[in-house]
Amino acid sequence: MTVASAAHGLVVALSGGIGGAKLALGLSRILPAEELMIVANTGDDFRHLGLSISPDLDTLTYTLAGLNNPETGWGRRTETWTFMAALRELGGEGWFQLGDGDLAIHVERTRRLAAGEPLSQVTEDFCRRLGVRAKLVPMSDDPVRTRVRTQEGWLDFQDYFVRQRCQPVVLELTFEGRQSARPQTDLMAALRDPRLRAVIICPSNPFISIDPILAVPGLRQALGNSPAPVVAVAPIIGGRAVKGPTAKIMSELGLEVTAAAVARHYGKIIDGYVVDDSDVDQVALPGLHVHAAAILMQTLADREALAHEVMAFADRLRALGKAVRASA
């Protein structure tokens, strides 16, 4: 195994929206475009107003294209809201905010999907037109839909997440359609590629952003079979989520809100774990290599710096070889 010169090779990054997209952007800025594949969660995709909406895919697309809105974490940077105002006048559903510019990606995607194009092809074309050079793929071209069991019963994900602002207590999550979903073709090829350098699990919500990806049949096995290291970045710092409902969901599911609990949740699937400097003493799990870094990404420089740290750590793990890593 020649791993010493592994400063090149293919990197696959699994990501949800906001938090994950920050690291995905960092990776896209330090890696050659042809060496990075970003895999988006599509479990929170849904049909709304007759439109096919892919929130995480769009957040990643906009982030990588420099069009994202840094204030909200979703939607476009320069946006108008005339559509929503007119829709409300007509009695349309107003709980999911769709900016006028953002609407274009939903309308055009819906049209192309209805014409028979796979989601990954539509995504690739949008990325090319918006100047995104890294490859961005949905986890699957087949629909997988995250649903949330709460004390009010089962809810569609966006109903829980947006309409009810994550207020219902989460008892269970399921990913409808996962049994018949096939992992996106290029993703499977990448995971089997001997040039695979690392798989990075971005600091997204493990339950609602990463688990749906891992639920696609064949993906966990492909990660286990790959000689490349799988490295996750903790979405929890000092017992708190940087953004979003991760901490709330963890406590509702009976987990302690710590970086260590996230690592235990990922279990054997990860070889390495990047945690915040402040958390490093608390994360010690058999078989898991831990690397401490400043993982809070506030600036663009933070995103790039963390991407460098993560890749250097992954390359060290890769140099160890999988068998050695597993006995850490």
Among 30, 107, 285, 294, binds its own copies (CB under 8 A): 107
Cβ atoms within 10 Å of 34's Cβ, excluding its own: 10
**CA 126 – CA 133 distance, rounded (Å):** 11
Q: Which of residues 85-104 bind its own copies (CB under 8 A)?
A: 85-87, 89-92, 99-104
Task: Work out the end-to-end distance of the chain between its first and last CA atoms, rounded to an integer number of angstroms.
Answer: 19
All residues at 6 or more sequence positions from 267 whose CB lies less than 8 Å from its CB, including other chains? none
- Whichever of 1 and 115 has its CB closer to its own copies, that residue is 115
Interface with its own copies (CB under 8 A), residue total 33
Binding of its own copies by 118 (CB under 8 A): no
Nearest in space to 173 (alpha carbons), one of 201, 187, 195, 154: 154
Nearest in space to 195 (alpha carbons), one of 232, 227, 231, 230: 227
Among 8, 32, 80, 256, binds its own copies (CB under 8 A): 80
Among 1, 4, 7, 114, binds its own copies (CB under 8 A): 114
Residue 130-159 contact track with its own copies, rule CB under 8 A, x = bound: x-----------------------------
Residue 141 token pair: 């071209």
Q: Which of the ranges 109-117, 157-165, 173-181, 315-323 carries the binding residues for its own copies, by CB under 8 A?
A: 109-117
Among 69, 110, 121, 174, binds its own copies (CB under 8 A): 110
In whole angstroms, how far apart are CA 72 and each of 75, 77, 257, 280?
A: 7, 9, 24, 30
Nearest in space to 34 (alpha carbons), one of 138, 141, 132: 132
Among 8, 111, 192, 268, binds its own copies (CB under 8 A): 111
**CA 56 – CA 54 distance, rounded (Å):** 6
Q: At closest approach, how far in Å is the CB of 135 from its own copies?
A: 18
Q: At closest approach, how far in Å is the CB of 100 from its own copies?
A: 4
Residue 38-77 contact track with its own copies, rule CB under 8 A, x = bound: -----------xxx------------------------x-
Binding site for its own copies (CB under 8 A): 49-51, 76, 78-80, 82-87, 89-92, 99-105, 107-108, 110-111, 114, 125-126, 129-130
